[in-house]
Amino acid sequence: ISSSQIDSIIVDGSKFTEQSTYSDTTHFDFLHSIAGISNLFAGAYVGLDGKIEVLGLGLMGLAEEIATIKSNDLRSIMNNAMRVSQNFKGPFDILSSKDKKNQLFLDTQNSVTELSDALKPLTSVVNDLGKSLK
């Protein structure tokens, strides 16, 4: 959808029509992505029913085998990211509101900022882990 919209904008000079980038359900997709990251760290796929379906080494297991990576720090960072993601309420579409003083807008903006801040150190540690595996 997005590529066809971009092509249309370029060819026709038309205005972009937002489809679902910040829809009411996009934040659920986002939260499921974070849960997937958590599964990757744990080395376990946990279904929506809470049952473990696949077990493996996971990034935590790898981190524990690499001396330069502090696995306790990694665990703490991951736990913090999960805690913050569970506090995120969404939906994203409120961020397009013109009323920047609306409490829902402010709460969502703060949630997104807090989540972004929690994911930055996670990215850094994962990059370090990747470099250590080379």
Tens of pLDDT along 71-120? 788 888 888 888 888 887 667 777 777 888 989 889 888 888 888 888 88
**Helix 58-65 / helix 26-42 crossing angle, nearest 10 deg:** 40
Query: Domain tally for the chain?
Result: 1
Q: Does residue 121 belong to any structural domain of this protein?
A: yes
**What is the per-residue pLDDT across 13-54, written as a single tens digit (0 to 9) for each?**
555 455 555 555 666 777 777 778 888 888 888 776 778 788
Q: Does residue 86 belong to any structural domain of this protein?
A: yes
Mean pLDDT (whole number) for 57-74: 80
Q: Does residue 1 belong to any structural domain of this protein?
A: no
Phi, psi of 123 (to 5 degrees): -60, -45
Q: 11 Cβ partners below 8 Å, 6+ apart?
A: none
Place of tokens 């026709």: 12
Q: Does residue 118 belong to any structural domain of this protein?
A: yes
Q: Does residue 76 belong to any structural domain of this protein?
A: yes
Q: Which domain holds residue 86?
A: 20-133
Q: Does residue 10 belong to any structural domain of this protein?
A: no
- The torsion angle over the Cα atoms of residues 100, 102, 105 and 110, rounded to 10 degrees, is 90
Q: Does residue 7 belong to any structural domain of this protein?
A: no
Mode of pairing for the β-strands spanning 52-55 and 44-46: antiparallel
Within 10 Å of residue 50's Cβ, how many Cβ atoms?
A: 6
> At 1, is the pLDDT very low, low, confident or very high (cuts 50, 70, 90)?
very low
Q: Does residue 29 belong to any structural domain of this protein?
A: yes
Determine if residue 58 is left, alpha or beta; phi over 0 gives left, psi from -120 to 50 gives alpha, anything else beta. Answer: left
Nearest to 84 by CA among 107, 60, 114, 109: 114
